Amino acid sequence: MRDESNRGDGGVPHLSPEEFRELGHRLVDWVADYQQRLESFPVRSQVAPGEVASKLPLRPPEEGLDGVKGWDAVLKDLEDVILPGVTHWQSPSFFAYFPANASGPAVLGELLSAGLGVQGMLWSTSPAATELETRVVDWLVDLLGLPEDFRSTSARGGGVIQGTASEATLVAMVAARERVRRGGAPADSEWVAYASTQAHSSVLKAAMLCGVAHGAEDTTHVRLIETNDRYGMRPELLERAILQDLEAGRVPFFVCATVGSTSSGAVDPVRAIGEVMARTPVRSTGGWLHIDAAWAGSALVCPEHRDLLDSMNRVDSFAFNPHKWLLTNFDCNAFFTRDRQALLDALSVTPEYLRNAASASGAVIDYRDWQVPLGRRFRALKLWFVLRHYGAKGLRAHIREHVRLAKCFESWVKEDARFELAVPRSLSLVCFRLKPLPGESAKDTDARNRELLERVNASGKVFLTHTVLPSVEEAPARYILRMAIGAATTEERHVRAAWELLVASVR
């Protein structure tokens, strides 16, 4: 036991640098060992609700640990209590939702960020945190082939790291409303935002948070536009909705176009949407076009995928998540705008205790004015580490391999008469299902697909998720399975094993 009698800090058992180094080495070794044994775990956690909590004390400990040796108990609990309750997002057989892939460089950047403990709300609170962030998001403009006026060096634009795409959508919506209000719309206007029926739920949540929508069922102030048979927004229906709202005295101010929807990877026609906004009074009154490319945006590092964005001429903001598919662990959203002043107008609050000479000079960026919270971590470090370690060539190879694997899976689905593609493959996402049997009702077909998914996931060998695609034109609503390939360590053998398990599980 450590002798605390001569401590000058009141006996607080801080780790000494030597103790921290010893424990740090053990935990880095643990993480490295975890990565090596990922394939030995059930991909989806097998615990029952409340099982993890039942193994944890109801009350916090009164006495702290007895030095480094006391951490043996913590590491044992990590193995016995925590690990069984983990769904292994980094498993090479994780094909659910969308990827949230991490990498060694990103984990090390996160460690360094935590160790430095920077709170980078202002430039003056850590100049390196701000200036590194500005530089790496400018690098992303180049890597993704985005317009030059999204760079910080442009006259009006720039980028920032948000936590998530949900935060980015909220920031864009608040900035849009403020810009339209400053253009002459009354503050108490009936504001209206638009997105497709396949847009992420974060659009509705953003509208609720900023007071535009009066609840989750408010279809008056958040208009969800029907889609075509590829589940992209129909621009003629958007135009009709805008004109109806203008006639009713409401104020259209925000349109969110999705590039890579969560359900099926659908892509909205950005050019046509921008043209609708230009033909109607929306653009002339300051209305805002935001692109949510949370997952698919990473694919833009490959020039062959840049046709996902058929135009960026009228886009006011663009956001994607490097923490989904670009090897940078959660959380890290890259948000770009052509109108940084709109963000400052909507979000800047400067009490006396935040005033300082650097900010007053106008020569620096204070990113606290570009986001909802005041405080911010040094997230740029992990993105910087990833970009330097992999380089553009490494990132392109990463994306291209997953797209290749998805093409393999797609071909296997096409070759098996029992299965069908629900929609054409979108990058590394394949949406598929069991075909209806002769004379089978849609309800029974959905039930067979649901049972297949449950059997496959219960095996622990893989993890897939589902969605329900709504009826469009002649196609009825359908329960479908999603094969989302994106884990950093996924190889063709893992994808083939998943397919073989699916085939063997059909009854």
**What are the DSSP calls for 365-434, one per residue?**
--GGGGSSSS----THHHHHHHHHHHHHHHHHHHHHHHHHHHHHHHHHHHH-TTEEESS--BTTEEEEEE
Q: Cα dihedral sign for 32, 35, 38, 40? A: negative
Q: What is the domain partition of the chain in residue ranges? A: 111-387
> Are the C-beta atoms of 479 and 434 separated by less than 8 Å?
no
Express as a percent the part of the chain with pLDDT over 70.
Answer: 98
Distances (CA, A) of 94 to 87, 90, 128, 323: 9, 7, 36, 15
336-353 pLDDT, tens digit per residue, is: 999 999 999 999 998 878
Query: If you average pLDDT over residues 429-436, what whole number do you get?
Result: 97
CA distances from 388 to 163, 294, 396 (A): 21, 22, 14
Instruction: Please report which confidence band the pLDDT of residue 5 belongs to, taking 50, 70 and 90 as the band edges.
Output: very low
10 phi-psi bin (left φ>0, alpha ψ -120 to 50, beta other) = left
Amino acid in position 363: A
Can you say whether the dihedral through the CA atoms of 473, 474, 477, 480 is positive or negative? negative
Cα 314 from Cα 293, distance rounded (Å):
16
If DSSP codes are grouped into helix, strand and coil, which group holds residue 318?
A: strand
Confidence of residue 10 (pLDDT cuts 50, 70, 90): low
pTM: 0.93
Residues 371-398 have a mean pLDDT of: 96
Using 50, 70 and 90 to split pLDDT, how confident is the model at 6?
very low
Ranking 46-50, 102-106, 349-353, 456-460 by mean pLDDT, the lowest is 349-353
Q: Is the pLDDT score of 204 beyond 90?
A: yes
Which of 379, 368, 325, 383 shows the shortest CA–CA distance to 163? 379
Using a pLDDT cut of 90, give the percent of the chain over it: 89
Render pLDDT for 47-91 as a digit per residue (tens, 0 to 9). 999 999 999 999 999 888 887 888 999 999 999 999 999 999 999
**Are the C-beta atoms of 38 and 488 separated by less than 8 Å?**
no
Is the confidence at residue 2, as pLDDT, over 60?
no
Residues 6+ apart with CB under 8 A from 24: none
Render pLDDT for 315-337 as a digit per residue (tens, 0 to 9): 999 999 999 999 999 999 999 99
Look at residue 9 in the predicted model and tell me its pLDDT: 58
Handedness of CA 91, 92, 95, 97 (dihedral sign): positive
Three-state secondary structure call for residue 484: strand
Residue-averaged pLDDT of the chain: 94
Question: What was the pLDDT predicted at 312?
Answer: 92
CA distance 285 to 183: 6
Which fold would CATH assign to domain 111-387?
Aspartate Aminotransferase; domain 2 (3.40.640)
Query: Is pLDDT at 382 greater than 50 in this prediction?
Result: yes
Q: Is the pLDDT confidence value at 3 over 60? A: no
Model confidence pLDDT, tens digit, residues 179-189: 999 999 998 99
d(CA 462, CA 498): 6
Please say if the pLDDT value at position 1 is more than 60. Answer: no
**Tens digits of per-residue pLDDT, 18-38?**
999 999 999 999 999 999 999
